Copies of this chain bind each other. A is one copy, B any other.
Amino acid sequence: MYWYDGALQKTPIAAFDLTDRGLTLGDGIFDTASAHNGRLFLREAHLERFAAAAEALDIPFPGKQASEALDALAAAVGDGVVRLTLTRGGGARGLAPPKGPKPLLFGAAAPPPPPFPVLSLAATAIRRNETSPAARVKVLPYLDAILGFEEARAKGADEALFLNTQGRVACLASANLFAVFGGQLATPPLSDGVLAGTVRAFVLGKAADLGLKAIERSLDFSDLLRADALFATSSLKLVAPCRSLEAASFASVENEVVLRLQAALRDAVAAACGRL
């Protein structure tokens, strides 16, 4: 199901402006949320992040439309994935943004991927470029993520680990990463080139309730190897235990902290949407 020009439509084919800068230059943002029982999990967090991303790129944010599109797609798909895309709209050739931008908002809903997948990780040689503001925003350019992901898959892994240009741990191709040390959780700070994941924020905020200490701090690859468990977070994966990173194995699937976080996510989804 798709949302375009203010309404739901069944086909992805739409009358589209080929000068749209989202298409020609990657000049736009998106956001992906999971729907359960026709309702969005962490709905407000997603809308706030989407608005903040628009502000970061100085794209006027059509808040009412975005809100309507999210709900319409969630209701239409029931259980699934809802994605909204916002581009800067059409423009003349060249890098300079148009003076009076007419942003384009559209959306799509898709079937749900399995929650809580178990992942094997391989490091990619492509570095996450934390020097760019775009590294902390869910922008359309995902080519580095695609290339790193394919590199990891070619090695037989499920996901790619990105270090940043300083050699510190950043994130996976489409997820944040946490390391568990005893009862402590650590995840890289946004300044290391990390997207402000909604489930990342949920975990950081929920940890204290679970008797855990959660901190944002820079991590080296060797820190990961010393961890008791690793897990990825994303709107779709929720809390995904990592069973391996390159040659190292982790008992993340049975790690008590990971299990408690998964249970907390299940409860939160049920509270917000009725059930997982």
CB <8 Å contact, B26 and A140: yes
Binding stretch for chain B, among A91-99, A182-190, A225-233, A248-256? A91-99
CB <8 Å contact, B12 and A18: yes
CB <8 Å contact, A15 and B13: yes
Q: For the complex, what is the distance from the CA of A2 to the CA of B57, rounded to whole Å? A: 28
CB <8 Å contact, B149 and A96: yes
A71 contacts the other chain (Cβ, under 8 Å)? Answer: no
Q: For the complex, what is the distance from the CA of A275 to the CA of B248, rounded to whole Å? A: 63
Q: For the complex, what is the distance from the CA of A126 to the CA of B126, rounded to whole Å? A: 16
Q: Which residues of B contact A146 (CB under 8 A)?
A: 25, 27, 95, 97
A110 contacts the other chain (Cβ, under 8 Å)? Answer: yes
A144 contacts the other chain (Cβ, under 8 Å)? Answer: yes
CB <8 Å contact, A30 and B24: yes
When all copies of this chain in the complex are counted, the total is: 2
A65 contacts the other chain (Cβ, under 8 Å)? Answer: no
Q: Which residues of B contact A23 (CB under 8 A)?
A: 20, 22-23, 85, 87, 140
A19 contacts the other chain (Cβ, under 8 Å)? Answer: yes
CB <8 Å contact, B165 and A131: yes
A222 contacts the other chain (Cβ, under 8 Å)? Answer: no
Our pick among B18, B94, B125, B149 for the contact of A2 (Cβ within 8 Å) is B18
Our pick among B24, B108, B131, B139 for the contact of A93 (Cβ within 8 Å) is B108
A145 contacts the other chain (Cβ, under 8 Å)? Answer: yes
Name the distance in Å between A118's Cβ and chain B's nearest Cβ: 17
CB <8 Å contact, A134 and B147: yes
Residues of A in contact with B (beta carbons under 8 Å apart):
2, 4, 12-20, 22-27, 30, 57, 81, 83, 85, 87, 90, 92-97, 106, 108, 110, 113, 125-127, 129, 131-134, 139-147, 149-150, 153, 165, 173-174
- 8 pairs, A vs B, C-beta closer than 8 Å: A24-B30, A25-B140, A26-B143, A83-B93, A95-B149, A126-B131, A127-B132, A129-B132
